[in-house]
Structure 1
Amino acid sequence: MSLSTTRLSSKGQVVLPGEVRDRLGLRTGSRFIVIADGDTVILKLLKPPTAGELQGLLARARAEARKAGVMGKDISRAVRRVRRSA
């Protein structure tokens, strides 16, 4: 863990120290969840899921759909209904 200080700019921007950016591999456009709790602000780095993680999520979703009796045609029908109402 490292400790440093920074300031809030007039535009509401906070500069993260270079050491922190380098250690975490942060780049321009890195996205964060901002959590405010009392006088504490937490920035949590959002990392996109890996291909393997996505495949795992899809496999679990398919298994749950099978258990619930949801078929591919049911999903296609629901998508068409939503697209028509949009």
Structure 2
Amino acid sequence: MHYQIARLSSKGQFVIPENVRKMLGLRAGSKLALFTDGEHILLKPIPTPDVSAFRKMAKEATKVAEEAKAKRKEAKP
């Protein structure tokens, strides 16, 4: 477990120290879930979804749609 100190701004913001950001792979725009029991705060990174499976599925759907369109053209009198 690592120990760091962060200061809270007047706007309720704080900076996660650079070495912690690097260790967790956090970048600008990274999302974090915040949990509290009323005394403690736990921040947990929300991983970026892997969109490669979605891209593959979209590519397959496009291929099927193009094949169906070609068959419709062939079937027209």
TM-score band by shorter chain is 0.5 to 0.7
Q: TM-score, normalised by structure 2?
A: 0.60
Percent identity, aligned pairs only? 43
Aligned to 1:83: none
Shift of 1:38: 2.1
Which 5+ residue runs of structure 1 have no aligned equivalent? 56-86
Stretches of 4+ aligned residues off by more than 3 angstroms: none
Give a deviation string over 1:61-86, Cα, whole Å, max 9, x none.
xxxxxxxxxxxxxxxxxxxxxxxxxx
Distance in 1 (CA, whole Å) between partners of 2:39 and 2:23 is: 26
Q: How many residues align?
A: 54
CA RMSD of aligned residues (A): 1.7
Larger Rg: 2
Distance in 1 (CA, whole Å) between partners of 2:42 and 2:18 is: 18
Q: TM-score, normalised by structure 1?
A: 0.55
Which 5+ residue runs of structure 2 have no aligned equivalent? 55-77
